[in-house]
Structure 1
Amino acid sequence: MKNILLVCAAGMSTSMLVRKMEQAAEEKDEEIKIKATGGGDIKKYIDDANVLLLGPQIAYKKESYTKEFGGPEGIPVDIINMVDYGTMNGKKVLDFALELINK
């Protein structure tokens, strides 16, 4: 099972995106767990994550999250495309996450 963790300022807007991503995952017939949280709760969920995606509103945290959770021994950390995030394009965000996991 692949685990995707989405993080935004409070975890609210990404919760809507999670539902769209789950629908896209069902269409792919893949076992994927997707969780959305606010920045303060990352450590509760990061141990199970295969990728960490940041909402555009916290893009400025990419460097610090990459240092803490990414790198050679960690998981991929990247920013969700602003247009995909704004339009809640779950399929594109899911594909992006899977691409990062499979690198």
Structure 2
Amino acid sequence: MSEKKIMLVCAAGMSTSLLVSKMKKIALEKKIDADIFAEAASKAEEKSAEEKPDIMLLGPQVRYLLKKFEDKFNFPVEVINMRDYGTMNGENVLKKAIEIIDNKDI
């Protein structure tokens, strides 16, 4: 299984940083090869051009960017479940991201 690049985007890149660290911890425990990182919405286009993520996950506070980013990128763009985001449930967010990545070619 190849490395999965998961990009989280929020207003300033700060609130997703905690979620990123929780997701990385789960990935390590479950031996999932994943590169997980966060970026501010204002730099999302630039960062995704550099990193070429497999999926972009938007924090609920920037869900208004969903349509714009879906039209712009050729990889899945999803809004993080509000409950998982609010409780910083890294396991659920990681699981959902991997499901989407693994099913995008079907």
Which TM-score applies when normalising by structure 2? 0.90
Q: Distance in 2 between matches of 1:60 and 1:42?
A: 14
What's the secondary structure of 2:65's corresponding residue? helix
Q: Distance in 2 between matches of 1:62 and 1:77?
A: 7
State the Cα distance separating 1:41 from its structure 2 match: 1.2
Q: Which residue of 1 aligns with 2:67?
A: 63
The alignment's C-alpha RMSD in Å is: 0.9
Are 1:54 and 2:58 matched, yes or no? yes
What's the secondary structure of 1:53's corresponding residue? strand
Which TM-score applies when normalising by structure 1? 0.92
Instruction: Mark the runs of 5 or more structure 1 residues left unpaired by the alignment.
Output: none
Q: Which residue of 2 aligns with 1:97?
A: 97
Q: Distance in 2 between matches of 1:64 and 1:55?
A: 15
Flag as ranges the 4+ runs of structure 1 deviating above 2 A. none
State the Cα distance separating 1:27 from its structure 2 match: 1.5
Instruction: Mark the runs of 5 or more structure 2 residues left unpaired by the alignment.
Output: none
Percentage identity across paired residues of the two chains: 45
Q: How many residues align?
A: 99
